[in-house]
Amino acid sequence: MSTEILIIDDNADIRNILKELISDAGYGTRIAANYNQALLEIDKKLPDVAIIDVKLDKGDNDGIELLLHIKNKNKDIPVIIISGHANIEMAVKSLKSGAFEFIQKPFDQDRLLNFVRRAAENYDLKKENKELQTKLFHSFDLIGSSQNILKINEQIKKLSLTDSRIFINGPTGSGKELVARKIHKESNRKNGPFVILNGALLDVKKYEQELFGEERQDGSILYGALEKSTGGFLLIDEVSEIPLETQSKILRVLTDQKFKRINGNHDIKVDVRIICSSAKNIVDEISYGNFREDLFHRLNVFQIDIDPLSKRTQDIPLLVNYFSKKISTSYNLKEFSINPDSHYLIDYSWPGNVRELRNLIERIAILAPDTPDKVSNIIKESLKTQANENFKSENTLSIPLKEARENFEKEYLTTQLKKFGGNISKMAKFIGMERSALHRKLKGLNIKDLN
């Protein structure tokens, strides 16, 4: 499919010149002669690149309004602003508003065409990168040998066979969206859409518009997430962030199985499977008065709880090996190896959870270190543990041998306990101790069993 350029100018001669120039260069074109036509074209289908005159028929800066309208829909779309009344202030305002380039009329055709080529290449590059990231994300598996992950994989198999609503709890970066996508992928709705509505990222004033859509005065329709996900899944991410007023309307939709668009008169039947997720403790949010208890019970037909990575450290070596191979293959980068049992990785608290670990592996892949030491240095620098290690080393030199030995044993055994997920038998076999002797050692060092 060829790149499509939307030309917005109220001057017919300029529109025709631009259309001919850009068509001859091999691009598809659409045109709009005024502000309202431009809105219709933008809302009907976003272009790959837009060329907009600053002054149309609505006001002195209606071209800037259209620029912002496009950027609100997709910030990656390049917009070239043209003006017959250009000044420095106007150029600065356009660029600050997100314009890709600003050019004054009468314009040099070669210069404008060069802008269009660069804008199209810029957009294609961003789109390819986003598609690669999406493809990579969609291909990820839920990796782990911890009881938590094994349980979730079993839950996914069972829940994929039903149409029950699901509530996923878990800290940021733990894999809530991945779990939801896996259920979609294995369900009888797998050929339907998978739409995400992020409650934490929406403008408070636009929740209902984003959910229910809107019928506008000019006759155009803005479809909301409920309609976009018809026949498939709707993931409402960070559902606890949705205002109480909107929560009551969602409850009504779940009860009646229908809704009306904003300014609409006709009921639209709901045919969507809803999954909600939250990084917050939803029970606490209910007690604080931030979330409706009756809505929670409607949404929470089945609950999945994802533990933070710090509570399932035995999954870390598996995740390290998995991401190393996956990222190298997907990005066509040189293969590399990481010691998955490194105590830097096991002891780290992972506040960003699996996402933080994946980002670390991706960073290593891109930097392509050629020795184990360089890999280790990237890990230490990324996890900011070097200062702590220096502190430990200095501290160790200032204490008696017996105490230093106890500190080492405690740190070593705690790390191994995490690594084996609290499995004493496997840990004892690995470190070469009798199970009973290991129990005594752990008790003597006041190390608590993870179970």
Burial of 26 per CB tally in 10 Å (0-12, 13-18, 19+): exposed
Inter-residue contact 286 to 388 (CB < 8 Å):
no
Against a cut of 0.75, is the pTM above it? no
User: Greater confidence, 22 or 91?
Assistant: 22
Residues 55 and 186 in one domain: no
Same domain, 379 and 289: no
Q: What is the mean pLDDT of residues 420-429?
A: 81
* pLDDT for the residue 385: 46
387 and 405 share one domain: no
Average pLDDT over residues 105-130: 85
Closest CA to 319 of 342, 285, 301, 293: 342
Q: Are residues 257 and 385 in the same domain?
A: no
- 65, two tokens: 């309004």
Domain termination site, one of 248, 273, 307: 307
- Residue 451: pLDDT band with limits 50, 70, 90: low
Pairing label, strands 28-32, 49-53: unpaired
Please give the Cα distance from 203 to 206 (Å, whole number).
Answer: 5
Give mean pLDDT, residues 92-120. Answer: 88
- Is residue 163 located within the same domain as residue 292? yes
Same domain, yes or no, for 151 and 83? no
- Name the more confident of 274 and 447: 274
> What's the pLDDT at 4?
92
What is residue 337's predicted lDDT score, i.e. its pLDDT? 75
- The reply to whether 165 falls in a domain is yes
> 391: which strand partners?
none
State what percent of residues in the chain have pLDDT above 90: 41
Averaged pLDDT for residues 106-130: 85
Tell me if 338 sits within 8 A of 320, measured CB to CB.
yes
**Is it the case that residue 88 has pLDDT exceeding 80?**
no
CATH number of the domain encompassing residue 120: 3.40.50.2300
72 vs 354, higher pLDDT: 354
Whether residue 450 is contained in a domain is answered as no
Last residue of a domain, one of 286, 307, 328: 307
Residues 371 and 437 in one domain: no
CA dihedral sign, ordered 431, 432, 434, 440: negative
Residue 103 lies in a domain: yes
Domain limits at 427?
A: 399-444
> Per-residue pLDDT for 152 more than 60?
yes
**Residue at 207 is within a domain:** yes
412 within a domain of the structure (yes/no): yes
Confidence tier at 434 by pLDDT (50, 70, 90)? confident
Write the burial class of residue 147 (CB in 10 Å: 0-12 exposed, 13-18 middle, 19+ buried). middle
Q: In the prediction, which pLDDT does 404 show?
A: 67
Q: Residue 393 — very low, low, confident or very high, per pLDDT cuts 50/70/90? A: very low
What is the CATH classification number for the domain harbouring 328? 1.10.8.60
CATH classification of the domain holding 183: 3.40.50.300
Same domain, 157 and 231: yes
Residues 418 and 348 in one domain: no
Same domain membership, residue 319 and residue 280: no
Choose one of 135, 170, 195: the last residue of a domain. Answer: 135
Taking the C-alpha atoms of residue 410 and residue 133, their distance in angstroms, rounded to an integer, is: 41
Q: Would 195 be classed as within a structural domain?
A: yes
| Strand positions, DSSP E, 134-231 | 166-169, 194-198, 214-215, 221-222
pLDDT single digits (tens) 174-219? 999 999 999 999 999 988 889 999 887 777 678 888 899 988 777 7
386 pLDDT more than 90 = no
Q: Is the pLDDT of residue 448 over 90?
A: no
**Does residue 188 lie in a domain region?**
yes
CATH of the domain at 438: 1.10.10.60
pLDDT digits (tens, 9 = 90+) for 212-242: 998 877 777 788 899 989 999 999 999 998 9
Q: Is the pLDDT of residue 421 over 80?
A: no
Highest mean pLDDT among 32-46, 300-314, 413-427: 300-314
Q: Are residues 165 and 262 in the same domain?
A: yes
- C-alpha 201: how far from chain center: 11
Report the distance separating Cα 251 and Cα 276, nearest Å. Answer: 13
Is the pLDDT assigned to residue 76 strictly greater than 90? Answer: no
Q: Is residue 451 part of a domain?
A: no
- pLDDT at 269 exceeding the cut of 70: yes
366 and 408 both lie in a single domain: no
Residue 283: per-residue pLDDT: 92
What mean pLDDT comes out for the span 381-405? Answer: 56
Answer yes or no: is pLDDT of 401 > 70.
Answer: no
- Total domains in the fold of the chain: 4
pLDDT at 391 over 50: no
